[in-house]
Amino acid sequence: MVPQAQGRGDLHPPPREAEKHEQWRDYVDDGDLKVYYRGEEVGKRCEVKHYLETDFTSLADFPHKWLFLGNAAAWDRADPKPYIYCVLTRLGTHAAFVPGRAHGSWSRINVTDKRRGTTELTIACPPDVAWWTKL
């Protein structure tokens, strides 16, 4: 939470997830976090992805060919486009950051969600585009 004296509300909207694909329109948001720089009045959109089954500390030990950033249709609809994606490890100890301006290097790949059993067109980023850090 940002101090109220700065006149800004909560930077982290509460998480919500549609139970059925048909409900997606009711769950559209404008980002997971807002990033404010040096007195800016409008926060930049940050999308957070949590890799629940993956641990990594850097590009050197990232175990996948791609960083999956989410549904391609969500990127296409987004206004404003995400300023940055933050991909967290299973335990939240490290992160990979992918700037939205790197979208020219991304691919679109059909990926099956193991939890839901659905396949969707997904944004896939080459891992070498990200910058990696310990949190």
Report the pLDDT averaged over residues 3-8: 39
Range from 29-33, 69-73, 109-113 carrying the lowest mean pLDDT: 29-33
Report the pLDDT averaged over residues 36-57: 87
Burial class (CB in 10 A: 0-12, 13-18, 19+), 103: middle
Residue 40: what pLDDT? 77
Residue 34: what pLDDT? 80
Percent of the chain predicted with pLDDT > 90? 60
Report the pLDDT averaged over residues 1-17: 46
Can you read off the two tokens belonging to residue 127? Answer: 């891992």
pLDDT tens figures, 95-109: 999 999 999 999 999
Write out the chain in H/E/C secondary structure: CCCHHHCCCCCCCCCCCCCCHHHHHHHCCCCCEEECCCCCCCCEEEEEEECCCCCCCCHHHCCCCCEEEEEHHHHHHCCCCCCEEEEECCCCCEEEEEEHHHHHHCEEEEEEECCCCEEEEEEEECHHHCEEEEC
The whole-angstrom separation of Cα 135 and Cα 89 is 10
Q: Would you say residue 116 has pLDDT above 60?
A: yes
